[in-house]
Structure 1
């Protein structure tokens, strides 16, 4: 049996945001023929990552990737976006690598090529565009000398109504690591400042003695933007970044009106190399449990049940336990995903490893957590503006 040369790759959204699922269908095949659908994308370093899945066509010569389980491939469950998150690097353990596209200021999108092959020949190909920035989104780099903070500001198209805004920062990786997340949030209408707080020129070289006032300065800068509703500023922190996110919400309730934390800690931990991680008014913020009795908005805490870096699922329970104890009047929610590790966030569908065993979890668990957790973040932001 030979596959038809008239194979067609159908997709509902050939150009879509990088966090948007697309619906792929292969038509024009011979009934019950076996085909391989491949995916490929080029990382910032020029290395090409690949995914693949082999399917059996139905009796009408069709394969719907959203409803069909692959016979074999880089993923093995019914998953319409499996070809995207399961891509692997050209060499090495996929669990030890991360697919990093060009940053949004260098390229507003990245391309994923989809191919269909059977019996040793290619039947069809199509290139999909995965966008970081929707039409009209603008961005600008923030410099310490001019803005008093380091980062990148992403704003929805001008003329939109004022929206809740997000101050987003990562963890022990340092630098401005949340710019892709910030670009996507702005594309959904939420102005976002991706903030760096160490490991950038003019900032502390390492995570040690970082002033909490620095984060407050960034939040005030964000609140001053004409697209921003200053009464709804959300702090989003990942891993070590969860500590200043919670501290900001507790210590600046008139400035910060909600929190989203990924793989969080419920405690202030020591700085790198010992000493103190955070300061306020020139004094160390003591290590230990972070109080949460002054929150002025919702809280969402997301963790992986198999986090091997630190016990974030236990920390999440502690956070929720504290809020239960004081009967906090704002909505709060904990999401703990089985099979996910420290790489439980943030937006879905980008190929990533787990850097196992250090980070814990597995690629499937992390992918599922991101696909399910990201809509919860968008829902929190949508509810905030109502």
Structure 2
């Protein structure tokens, strides 16, 4: 009897799985399919071809795919190669507590599949992928100006505190915060526009709002003080770096594919203002697929007249980890991170680390998340090209996540915080 054997069947989304198909004929050609319907009813699928070994088995840890959505040995490829049936859809988890993604794995005989007469699959299996472990607590935050959701790990704590920031899609995005809480960090998923009673759009980046959020997090008795960490991406990384620059509460900042100057919007902290660099909408490109490329429309503080738009990153008291994808089509992320690193060095600072990933795009997310090359933004009339190549992007996500967790643990323990 043909079987799909998965271990473990129930796991966090960042945990690798061991997938095997047994009971096949020796050298039988089969097609493995993974399917997921997300919370909005959108279907995502991957399809990969394999050849069974002499014992009639396909073990994804050792067998190389012969075709389909990837080729070669990729034990978790069925997950990171998922593609949307509806063009330009992005997969992200919205309800993260007590509600996993359920993936359907199926195996078909290749001949039947290629003859367009796939009868019932030879075997099926369901896999649950969770964004929170049992006991993670979600607390809605609506205090003062601050809006968000706090995720507390199970146990008494105190736990290292982290603020999680996303970019220009707005709203409240929680999947990374709940996953960080599952790894022992009290994490505040922080909204800053287009959510609840917050402004519909950003007119100015007021770091006072984010300082208020940091203070709320630090007042929680289950949060280890006196400083916190930040995980941030895109516009969020600009804000994360601004917080690291101006706020003494920040001990460790992860900036994923960000920019470290004011562009389009001024950055304000108390009486200090970083005025916006010029933007160049005439440089905005639409590629041959009709996708917007933003990277050419954003100015460069090293090249344009207004060099004062760059954040004084040398004032950051904590540690900074820059993570960049070299196939990012939103920003020249590697160049911007290198400029920030150079600015730190010029001022005798050694608190920055840069990890650059060839082939990775803009949306570097937790491991085994499918690459989103392009998707819609609710505030823009055309889909956006985020960039990235499937295999190197998947490798970047797996490696960078380990580095993020290691970085936060290293710099947010009571010993390391008190040394700052």
Q: What TM-score, normalized to structure 2? A: 0.82
Question: Which residue of structure 1 lines up, in the alignment, with residue 289 of structure 2?
Answer: none
**TM alignment of 1:134-145, pairs within 5 A:** 134-143=133-142
Is 1:256 matched up with 2:250? yes
The structure 2 residue matched to 1:115, chosen from 91, 100, 106, is: 106
Question: Which residue of structure 2 lines up, in the alignment, with residue 47 of structure 1?
Answer: 42
Q: CA deviation at 1:358?
A: 2.7
SS in 1 for 2:150: strand
Is 1:73 matched up with 2:64? no
Question: Which residue of structure 2 lines up, in the alignment, with residue 3 of structure 1?
Answer: none
The structure 2 residue matched to 1:355, chosen from 366, 371, 374, is: 374
SS in 1 for 2:122: strand
* Larger CA deviation: 184-193 vs 15-24: 15-24
Contact kept? 2:229, 2:250, Cα under 8 Å: yes
SS in 1 for 2:314: coil
Is 1:203 matched up with 2:224? no
Q: CA deviation at 1:100?
A: 3.1
Contact kept? 1:256, 1:296, Cα under 8 Å: yes
The structure 2 residue matched to 1:302, chosen from 320, 323, 327, is: 323
The structure 2 residue matched to 1:376, chosen from 388, 403, 417, is: 403
Distance in 1 between residues matched to 2:359 and 2:314, nearest whole Å: 32
C-alpha change, 1:102 and 1:264, in structure 2 (3 Å) is closer
Distance in 1 between residues matched to 2:316 and 2:268, nearest whole Å: 20
Contact kept? 1:231, 1:257, Cα under 8 Å: no
Contact kept? 1:169, 1:176, Cα under 8 Å: no
C-alpha change, 1:246 and 1:101, in structure 2 (3 Å) is closer
Q: Could you give the per-residue CA deviations for residues 311-366 of structure 1, whole angstroms, max 9, x where no partner exists?
A: 11101111221222333254x321111112222x1212122421187322233333
Contact kept? 1:158, 1:227, Cα under 8 Å: no
Contact kept? 2:259, 2:333, Cα under 8 Å: yes
**TM alignment of 1:148-187, pairs within 5 A:** 148-159=145-156, 161-177=157-173, 179-187=174-182
Distance in 1 between residues matched to 2:259 and 2:90, nearest whole Å: 24
Distance in 2 between residues matched to 1:346 and 1:100, nearest whole Å: 10
Question: Which residue of structure 2 lines up, in the alignment, with residue 312 of structure 1?
Answer: 333
Q: CA deviation at 1:206?
A: 0.9
Q: Which runs of 5+ in 2 are unaligned?
A: 113-119, 277-308, 376-383, 416-420
Contact kept? 2:99, 2:130, Cα under 8 Å: yes
Question: Which residue of structure 1 lines up, in the alignment, with residue 362 of structure 2?
Answer: 342
Q: Which runs of 5+ in 1 are unaligned?
A: 1-5
Distance in 1 between residues matched to 2:392 and 2:144, nearest whole Å: 39
Q: CA deviation at 1:47?
A: 2.1
Is 1:103 matched up with 2:103? no
**TM alignment of 1:279-294, pairs within 5 A:** 279-281=268-270, 284-287=273-276, 288-294=309-315
How many residues end up aligned between the 2 structures?
365
